[in-house]
Structure formats: structure tokens, C-alpha cells
Amino acid sequence: MSGARKVKSLKVENARLKELPAESMFDVSMLREMLPRMSDVRLTRKGRYLGDRGD
């Protein structure tokens, strides 16, 4: 592999690796936003919504 190709390849890989933390932070942010809503939903073992029945 020539020097120029290797540099280009490394730049592409570097850009891809820089995106990973941003994607991870976005995922964490979305999960934190969804968690309060999910805690209000009670499910049976079969995954059926129980609502406010208290079962």
C-alpha cells in the first residue's frame, strides 16, 4: 500500500472512530429520556400491558 493510500485509509478510520462516542452519547441520552416513561408501564410475563389495574 502506498503512503498516500495508507494516510487516506487512516483518516477514514479516524473519522469513523470519532463518530462512535457521539453515537454512544446520543443512545444514552435517548435511553434516559425513555426510562421515566418505561417505568410507568407494567407488564405481565407474557408482555401484556396491565395499565392501572394493579395486577
On whether residue 46 sits in a domain, the answer given is: no
- Tell me how far apart the alpha carbons of residues 23 and 30 are, in angstroms, rounded to a whole number: 11
Domain boundaries, position 29: 1-39
Is the pLDDT reported for residue 55 higher than 50?
no
- Res. 41 pLDDT band, cuts 50 70 90: low
Which has the higher per-residue pLDDT, 11 or 41? 11
What is the C-alpha separation between 33 and 39, in angstroms, rounded? Answer: 11
16-30: average pLDDT: 90
Within-domain flag for 5: yes
Domain annotation covers residue 23: yes
Evaluate whether residue 31 is within a structural domain: yes
Domain assignment of residue 48, yes or no: no
How high does pLDDT run on average in the chain?
Answer: 79
Q: What is the pTM of this model?
A: 0.44
Residue type, 23: E
Provide the number of structural domains found in the chain. 1
Q: Is residue 28 part of a domain?
A: yes
Task: Classify residue 19: in a domain, yes or no.
Answer: yes
